[in-house]
Chains A and B, each alone.
Chain A
């Protein structure tokens, strides 16, 4: 359930080159960042910092952050090798963020929504009282504003330093989603690499739509825990997005460069707002790409050529689509 450490990223700031975790290629940092941390040669989707996610997803200047001033408190006096209270202060300083979730009102290609993103940079995106509260408030804001809520999950799970308080954030966030459902609202969960533990076992898995980024590790227990428990090697591609799609656990896999339009389109279906697909053929190809994840999974999820094709697909014009969408009204 709890946050587990994932292998330290090799993309330490400052380095000119980054080694791809998917294929081992050396990637030029500037190009890598311009591609929003997707490997140009194999399509591997690296974890995207929360702020970058907002920038990539929300229309320029549309994001109004809400509830910035929420802070965790070390209620248990938790000390492992460092007191949690000190760890919080140091992590705030290092990341410039108050905790591991950022929420706010946003527009996506002109469609109003509440956007919540988790930030893996902050203690592994772990969910404690602040993340739980922010996700709940994001959902409650969506109920008030009568707009859909989009949640980008990215977390190793519950924050152990807050003990059972963090466990109960699973209940808190699910409670809010149950209110949203009663109110006739709509929610989309996008699970990104990695989404595990108490986050997967709560709000991230019970939204109306479940989307995943290609290759994202998504699961209840971490792979190491499972391997230790069953004393067997895990199957290839186990707990990856493609595996989940094949097992019927998620609705779609959407590549990062197609995410924004895809979300706008899904919101439009939920709200009844018009949405016209710009550059029809390219968008159609994008649809097929989503389905390609299933094919990948059948072949073990490791078809690099397919992924690289997907990563290189041209994007449809965002501006035009945004203009089209904003002319419509958001009905619910």
Chain B
């Protein structure tokens, strides 16, 4: 099996079966390009036609992804991670470690960042690139010390009068013995509460997985954005399926029911903007993705700078206070 075939097989196994025709076409184009080079045949016309067909089919496939397929795009092994944004979107980054109490959670990265003439505190979930990294980062599942580190750095940002940018990408906060012993729930709750009082602008962008409280623990933003094929949910589709359907196999149904896609979140007023991804998803064009996220951050920071601090805080409060207002009378079901 060639490496690209291997990759295709792996991709399909990961719930990305819809990528198969695209990968096959990409493979064919690459073969033709190689052939053209080695034989000096003029295949430009054929290649161009295939590329056009690929573009159309990619648009078609990615324009009609099911929620479950989107969840798998959000988890795609090649999807840009927080560390990629740090490296490719920021012009400078000074990592700051540790929560000053217990440890330095690798699943959360924090530091001073520069982007053009903007400076800010960057806080983000870290999933890790290599197998070793992923293990060290607990696959992006932070412990309480991760949330406490995030808060300590966000408070530092407040003192330094720097805006805060959080990049959300976690399956959820880590469910483990140590995490419970050290107050996982309290750490998240404290972050949420404290973020309402931070006297600097806060931007949050869901770049992959927005897994429940572990996401919200760094997600109380004056502006919350979400990349098109990311998800944000109260529970993982697998977890929801196990509880409500009594079967983990029903994750696709749960993903559908949870309305966890970017479009649904926008519709329900739970995020402020959906950041469109390049054709075929962020993993097909990371560079194009960084530009879009960078533009969104610049626009928002400049916009939020216009507010008096008290007004900023009032608006932040009002936004979340107004989410999910109940009805004054019941709707009867016929």
Residues of A near any B CB (own CB < 8 A): 1-5, 69-76, 78-81, 83, 85-86, 88-89, 92, 98-99, 128-130, 132-133, 136, 158-160, 162-172, 174-179, 181-182, 197-198, 200-206, 219-221, 225-226, 229-230, 232, 234-235, 238-239, 243, 247, 249
Contacts and interface: CB of A to CB of B under 8 A. Distances in A.
Which of B214, B217, B329, B330: most chain A Cβ within 10 A?
B330
Contact of A230 (B176, B253, B333): B176
A80 B175 contact: no
B129 interface: no
Interface string B194-226: 101100000000000000111011011000000
A220 B259 CA distance: 23
A167 B180 contact: no
A220 B213 contact: yes
B260 A163 contact: yes
A89 to B, nearest CB: 5
Interface stretch (B40-48, B237-245, B277-285, B298-306): B237-245
A76 B317 contact: no
Given A72-B326, A172-B321, A174-B196, A220 B332 contact: no
Given A160-B240, A174-B192, A230-B176, A206 B186 contact: yes
B329 A69 contact: yes
Interface in B160-192: 172-177, 179-186, 188-190, 192
Interface stretch (B24-32, B110-118, B228-236): B228-236
B131 interface: no
A167 B324 CA distance: 10
Which 6 A-B pairs rank lowest in CB-CB distance, beginning with the nearest?
Answer: A221-B175, A129-B324, A1-B212, A2-B235, A200-B185, A220-B185
Contacts of A69: 328-329
Contact of A160 (B180, B184, B234): B234
A221 B243 CA distance: 14
A238 B177 contact: yes
Contacts of A179: 317
Given A72-B327, A230-B177, 8 more contacts: A71-B328, A76-B257, A78-B258, A130-B326, A164-B233, A166-B234, A171-B320, A175-B317
Contact of B173 (A164, A177, A220): A220
5 contacts: A2-B243, A170-B213, A229-B174, A230-B176, A238-B180
A76 B259 contact: yes
Contacts of B331: 71, 73-74, 85
Nearest to A92: B330
B184 A164 contact: no
B1 interface: no
Contacts of B172: 1
B185 A164 contact: no
Interface string B252-267: 0110011110001100
Given A76-B258, A171-B220, A203-B189, A198 B234 contact: yes
B177 A133 contact: no
Which of A167, A221, A243: most chain B Cβ within 10 A?
A167
Contacts of B326: 70-73, 99, 129-130, 133
B270 A164 contact: yes
B324 A168 contact: yes
A231 B65 CA distance: 34
A178 B240 contact: no
A83 B102 CA distance: 45
B178 to A, nearest CB: 10
Contact of A198 (B180, B213, B258, B324): B213
A80 to B, nearest CB: 4
B231 to A, nearest CB: 9
Contacts of A98: 330
Contact of A170 (B177, B184, B189, B260): B189
Contact of A229 (B176, B193, B235, B327): B176
B254 to A, nearest CB: 8
B323 to A, nearest CB: 4
A78 to B, nearest CB: 5
A178 B197 contact: yes
Contacts of B268: 75-76, 163-165
A150 B151 CA distance: 27
